[in-house]
């Protein structure tokens, strides 16, 4: 009986791998020792996510024929020092989170996709339209150590991810343009709170890439609005970039900007 229970999951796994066009498991484990010294107190300990977020990623694709492809992406953040998983915000409310009590939650991404030559449909918890302007496309340090724009402290809590979302991503148009349209639902007692809309316009031609994005989430304290712009230009081993964001909720507004340079020096980089 023991041999039966051990072999059965292996058989199921083999069957799944054969049925899928592609099944991928990947991720990052980031753990560090840190020492903090402050006024009248100092301490040492372990930390997670000092250079990159610790995460587990499961992705799969299935070829349905006639140019149609289905897929999924599940991504869970966790704390490598404690072995616990990250909580997730509920119904797109910036300060309302669900504790996982150490259990797994796909807080970073959980989407189902359907793709054909006319574009891609996405459903689930996904990146906000404004997220890409914080990545390595425009910030040399990406969303990591030395980040130029503090999105975590922004007035818009949905500047990075949105839940209960539906999105359409266009194919490349005229060899240089593409766009993303997205809507997300609040699904609370009052569906208007936590629901929102956004879009991102991408332009890429030769050595230049530019993006403009807009997102709005309706909240009880007033709509939280993001307006982002990013541009980069590459030549040889050098990339220059800039980004700008304007955030607003009610009468409270904030702005941020970044100018960056990335220079590759063999196997190394200067940022």
- Whether residue 75 has pLDDT greater than 90: yes
In this prediction, residues 215-231 reach a mean pLDDT of: 88
Instruction: Report the alpha-carbon distance of residue 29 to residue 44 in Å, rounded.
Output: 20
Taking only the tens place, the pLDDT of each residue in 81-99 is 888 888 777 777 766 555 5
Mean pLDDT of 200-221: 92
Region 197-208: mean pLDDT is 95
Contact 182, 92 (CB under 8 A): no
pLDDT at 208: 96
pLDDT, residue 37, reads 83
Higher pLDDT, 219 or 228: 228
> 264, 267, 230, 224: which is closest to 245 by C-alpha?
230
pLDDT at 95: 61
- Across residues 156-177, what is the average pLDDT? 86
């Amino acid at each position: 009986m023991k041999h039966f229970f051990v072999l059965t999951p292996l058989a199921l796994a083999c069957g799944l791998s054969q049925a899928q066009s592609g099944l991928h498991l990947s991720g990052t484990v980031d753990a560090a020792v840190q020492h903090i010294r402050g006024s009248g107190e100092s301490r040492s300990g372990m930390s997670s996510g000092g250079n990159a977020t610790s995460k587990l990623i499961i992705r799969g694709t299935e070829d349905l024929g006639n140019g149609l492809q289905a897929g999924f992406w599940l991504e869970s953040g966790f704390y490598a020092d404690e072995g616990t998983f990250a909580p997730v915000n509920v119904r797109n409310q910036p300060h309302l989170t669900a504790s996982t009590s150490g259990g797994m939650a796909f807080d970073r991404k959980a989407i189902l996709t359907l793709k054909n030559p006319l574009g891609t449909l996405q459903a689930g918890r996904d990146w906000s339209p404004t997220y890409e302007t914080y990545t390595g496309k425009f910030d040399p340090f990406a969303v990591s150590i030395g980040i130029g724009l503090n999105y975590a402290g922004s007035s818009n809590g949905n500047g990075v991810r949105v839940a209960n979302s539906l999105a359409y991503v266009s194919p490349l148009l005229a060899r240089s343009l593409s766009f993303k349209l997205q809507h997300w639902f609040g699904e609370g007692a009052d569906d208007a709170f936590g629901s929102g809309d956004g879009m991102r316009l991408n332009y890429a031609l030769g050595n230049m890439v530019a993006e403009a994005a807009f997102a709005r989430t309706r909240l009880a304290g007033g709509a939280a609005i993001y307006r982002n712009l990013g541009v980069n230009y590459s030549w040889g081993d050098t990339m220059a970039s800039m980004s700008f964001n304007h955030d607003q909720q009610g009468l409270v507004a904030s702005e941020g900007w970044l100018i960056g340079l990335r220079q590759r020096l063999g196997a190394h980089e200067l940022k």
